[in-house]
Structure 1
Amino acid sequence: MQVIATAGHVDHGKSTLVRALTGVDPDRWAEERRRGMTIDLGFAWTGLPSGERVAFVDVPGHVRFVGNMLAGVGPVPAVMFVLAADQGWQAQSQEHWEAIEAFGVRHGLLVVTRTDLMDPEPALAEAREHTTWPAVTVSGRTGEGLDRLRHALDRLVAGLPPPDVHAPVRLWIDRAFTITGAGTVVTGTLAAGTLRAGDVLDLGGERVRVKALQTLGEPAGRVEATARVAVNLRGVDRDRVARGMTLLTPGAWVETGTVDVRHGAGERPPREAVLHIGSAAVPVRIRPFAPGTARLTLARPLPLRIGDRALLRCPGRPIAGVVVLDVHPPVLRRGGAGRRRAAQLAPYAADPDGPGGPRLPDAATVLSWRGVARRAELAASGCDLAGLQAPGADGWLADPELWACLAGRLGELAAAEPGLPVDAARAALGLPCRGLVEALVRARPPLRVEGGRIVGTGLPAPVAAAVERLRRELAAAPYRAPEADDLARLGLDARAIALAARAGLLLRLRDGVVLPAGADTAAARLLARLPQPFTAAEARTALGTSRRVVIPLLEHLDTLGLTRRLDDRLRVVATPDTSAGDTARDPAAAGAASRRGAPTASGTARRSLP
């Protein structure tokens, strides 16, 4: 089965067409039939020539009921857009079309009806200025063209992408009512996943059980997407359920009151609007970042994922589509935090939607924003974890670059306080669990945990203190490696440098160049942002350093496989994320890297963790 919304500003004619096509009157209320105007969502279904069945969600066309219209269009994969031959493309038709585009509905059929009243060609020509969807002309009153319409619907349904029937369920509720002897029933469009009688779902933070299911008026023990479905809930009072709520697979969704989005509202969106997604309509406050991105604060939490499409509606402004970029964004407390967040979102602000959909942050990017996050929370946020290379423990994952920083800081802490308790290290590093500290220790031989304490550093306290002084001095310009006199001033003579390098706290390159550990993987990340390939001079400028430093650093990156030489002048960056992550996770690799002068930890400033 497939589900199609019927939209367009042809209230009575649209309902007449659906009734002629299906034999079911979508206008459920007496007032709708009396006024000849669709007010609320209507539902009908029919069989197609191929044997496929299709359900229709008939939405209101009148401007006063746009909220109801959006609740019907939001969850569907395709639209039958209806125009009247005697009315043509009207202002309300345009608003419906803008909503369809904002929701990202790419599949549809244009139908010009009431051809018994007027030649359809003028209305069809108007519509062709807006869409190239296949078109059919019909008369719902006389039945002319209905067979062509059924075959066109068959072709539309056959071309829809297959739904993911194994996905977690998010059923946006569009109706709720009570049936005597059965109890509370809710209906919605199941866009993905599978529902079964007996399933336990989440409704508004409470667990509820599915008593029975129906689809297209028939009982069913199991319903797969895409489908119109009626869900009979066991022991749920009718007043606990309303349009805009959701039935969810427990633990598979992040219910959030704050999201960062890409928007199509022009240079600056309004300060307040209504967010429409699924069947929900929620007031939001809007904080713009750079052009094209903003933060939305919702009046109530919604179950959202990265990549979700929604729209913003504000009186006096065009409808604006939004794409969710982050469902658990960082709190913006300090000065400049908004600018930094805008810079993080900038790569996803102006990218046009391609055939595969909008450009979205991947799991590695989202993890870099979080620093540390639960694997399950990343999956529930909509991240594909299949290709993610990240260290972690006990269900937590860490950004590889942050992991290197934490490993370096752990070495400093262990050197300054031999026998440091694991719990004290966890608090000092801001980590959420002991398992992550123990994983860090395993990545930093000769460190080990004995009796709940970290032992085995062997680094004298004066050397650890000197490394910390170097780290602070280079915090603002990490690639301005100190000269020999400056190293001596910091307390780093040849012996101290050798000890610190063996402990993994310093990166020692040729020609006396000394940098904090982790500077090489961080440099590879920076160089990856340059147009590829790049020259040594371009690398020097990007890193803010001198030729004395950049040449041995690039040679070191070549040795690690983080960069690759193309000729005497040009290099390219090769998978810095994977290289950094592998070293952080594998103690053997870490030890080998330390022996050849590569970092296994970073002494750069630790980022704050969520």
Structure 2
Amino acid sequence: MRVLATAGHVDHGKSTLVRALTGMEPDRLAEERRRGLTVDLGFVWTRIGEHVLAFVDVPGHERFVPNMLAGAGPVAAAVFVVAADEGWQAQSAEHLAALDAFGVRHGLLVVTKADRADPEPVLRDARDRLAATTLGDVPGVAVSAHTGAGLDRLRGELTTLADRLPPPDPAADVRLWVDRVFTVRGAGTVVTGTLGAGTLRAGDELELSATARRVGVRGLQSLGEPCEEVGAVARVAVNLRGTGRDDVRRGDALLTPGAWRATVEVDVRLRGDKADDLHRELVLHVGAASVPCRIRPLGTDLARLSLREAVPLRAGDTGLLRDPGEHRVPAGIEVLDPNPPGLRRRGAARERALELDGGDPAAAYLRRHAAVPVTELRALGWSGVGSRVGEWAVDPGLLAALPGRAAERFAAWAERNPLAAGMPAEALRRALGVPADLLGTVLAGSGLELHDGLVRRPGAVAVLPAAVDRAVTELERRFADEPFRAPEAAELAALRLGPRELAAAERAGRLLRIADGVVLPADAAERARAVLGALAQPFTVSAARRALGTTRRVAVPLLEYLDGQGHTERAPDSTRRLR
């Protein structure tokens, strides 16, 4: 399906044309048919060749411009209608300004009522006007809905236009701008909109932009028929489960859960009036949304918009600014950064303008945040930014500098903690300010390794501080004559050997800790094996204690240590034998 907005004409000439093409009545309200004036959005469709074309018929009168913008905003192409007997009108200029501000690049000019006046002057004039906008040099067709003249050619041009439109992405995240809300007896709340990308399925769970509340898709309709699945591009009606009629309004959006970020501040590039010439209070129209906003100029064509309500926007989105007081559209906008930095320092606005104007907003965002989940960047409208590490995008400059920084942080920490086995990985991560997932990549280039949650130098030999080295040397002297007489707690305290010092000595290969507070020489296991090998096998704990010349405080944990190392084997009767 292709969805086109029909715009440009204020009275029923436009509606009559659509009616002649589709055989359907676009003016659904009795007031519209009575007054001969389109007041709200109308939706009709027809098949032309291989294409199903849906038309969003927008009102033309200046009092209904917000309704017109809600219908035209989500649509990628337009059929611009001017009457031969009336020529270019004020509402024609307003509609064209809106389409130009929205950045609509695909269109077709239709001059109606060709049976009432010569259409050629109007065709030339209107084409010249359209050529100066984003629509460019569009084909023009003169028709008469009354006589049928030109309708076949119009159908051909519509087919050509449909062929030129870019193909949609059925796998894209859904953002369905709601342009109509109503209730159906027995079914509940129904919303309609133009699905520009993605796919909707019955049973889906979506997120309502206004409240972030989850709602279910009870059912779908497209072109008046129930559907289990609707892919872009399409006009679609969605029957919602879990929300009331008053909980949804025009301008809200149904979103793929977790895939979008609502924002109240956005940096944009302007097309139209200069930033300094804009009134400070305007209305932003994007999709079907209409949100009052405050303008802060950043440069000639750059501005920050502060929105009164949060809107789900991505970089690259287009919209327009409307001045309701002057009844005009002073500028179109393109979103550059939907999550901009604060501007609190003197000169920050000028620096930000330079960053936006001469650089890459996505790269600047990554520099500010160092590392960002890829899903977060996608939600902001950016992809392929920075260096990919797992599920993170990392600023390339930062990634190159991190190994050196890690080595520096580790060296400084090791100097302050000479007895530690290594720097806790979490402490290094916090010092670097990076996610835990990046630590392995950072360490790979830093000459460090991660082991049991500690960062250390591979193969590093522990060097004891001088005071600890002297105390351990004294123990080693004592062990020379009595290797299995473990020093008492008071003796260790006198030597200033606490748990940290003993652990460091063990890592240095100078001592062996067989239990808390029980230390022996580093070669105690080999010495004990030699002594126990001379005993009759199996042997008891008492026999081992006497042979080793030690106390039960030492003998029991030493034998358990030897069991664990595979030197001895314990029998059910608690005797042991040497393996």
Normalising by structure 2, we get a TM-score of: 0.73
| Deviation of the 1:126 alpha carbon | 1.5
Question: SS of 2:179's equivalent?
Answer: strand
Is the Cα–Cα contact under 8 Å of residues 101 and 332 in structure 2 kept in the other structure?
yes
Q: What corresponds to 1:390 in structure 2? A: 387
Q: What stretches of structure 2 of length at least 5 have no aligned partner? A: 131-136, 415-421, 462-579
Which deviates more from structure 2 when the two are superposed, residues 287-296 or residues 334-343?
334-343
Q: What corresponds to 1:429 in structure 2? A: 432
Aligned pairs for 1:21-420 within 5 A? 21-48=21-48, 50-131=49-130, 132-204=137-209, 205-264=212-271, 265-268=273-276, 269-314=278-323, 315-316=325-326, 318-347=329-358, 361=360, 364=363, 366-385=365-384, 388=385, 390=387, 392=389, 395-418=391-414, 419-420=422-423
Structure-2 separation of matches of 1:134 and 1:235: 46
| Deviation of the 1:191 alpha carbon | 0.6
Is the Cα–Cα contact under 8 Å of residues 7 and 57 in structure 2 kept in the other structure?
yes
Q: Which amino acid aligns with 1:179?
A: V
Deviations 1:248-268 (A, max 9, x none): 111222222211111123252
Question: SS of 2:129's equivalent?
Answer: coil
Question: SS of 1:129's equivalent?
Answer: helix
Mark the CA change 1:391 to 1:180 in structure 2 (over 3 Å): closer, same or farther.
closer
Q: Which has the larger radius of gyration?
A: 2
Q: What corresponds to 1:588 in structure 2? A: none
Question: SS of 2:156's equivalent?
Answer: helix
Is the Cα–Cα contact under 8 Å of residues 172 and 245 in structure 1 kept in the other structure?
yes
Q: Which amino acid aligns with 2:160?
A: R
Normalising by structure 1, we get a TM-score of: 0.69
Deviations 1:515-537 (A, max 9, x none): xxxxxxxxxxxxxxxxxxxxxxx
Q: Which amino acid aligns with 1:297?
A: S
Greater relative contact order, per chain length (Cα 8 Å cut-off, separation 6+): 1
Q: Which amino acid aligns with 1:16?
A: T
Is the Cα–Cα contact under 8 Å of residues 75 and 279 in structure 1 kept in the other structure?
yes
Question: SS of 2:170's equivalent?
Answer: coil
Q: Which amino acid aligns with 1:218?
A: E
Q: What corresponds to 2:477 in structure 1? A: none
Deviations 1:230-275 (A, max 9, x none): 1111232111111001111112222222111111232523322111
Question: SS of 2:382's equivalent?
Answer: coil
| Deviation of the 1:174 alpha carbon | 0.4
Which deviates more from structure 2 when the two are superposed, residues 276-285 or residues 364-373?
364-373
Structure-2 separation of matches of 1:22 and 1:391: 50
| Deviation of the 1:438 alpha carbon | 4.1
Count of aligned positions: 442
Q: Which amino acid aligns with 1:410?
A: A
| Deviation of the 1:75 alpha carbon | 0.8
Mark the CA change 1:398 to 1:23 in structure 2 (over 3 Å): closer, same or farther.
same
| Deviation of the 1:85 alpha carbon | 0.9
| Deviation of the 1:155 alpha carbon | 1.5
Structure-2 separation of matches of 1:374 and 1:260: 21
Question: SS of 2:387's equivalent?
Answer: coil
Mark the CA change 1:167 to 1:362 in structure 2 (over 3 Å): closer, same or farther.
farther
Structure-1 separation of matches of 2:91 and 2:453: 69
Q: What corresponds to 1:557 in structure 2? A: none
Is the Cα–Cα contact under 8 Å of residues 362 and 383 in structure 1 kept in the other structure?
no
Structure-2 separation of matches of 1:112 and 1:338: 47
Deviations 1:88-135 (A, max 9, x none): 112221111111111111111100111222211221122022122111
Structure-2 separation of matches of 1:288 and 1:402: 31
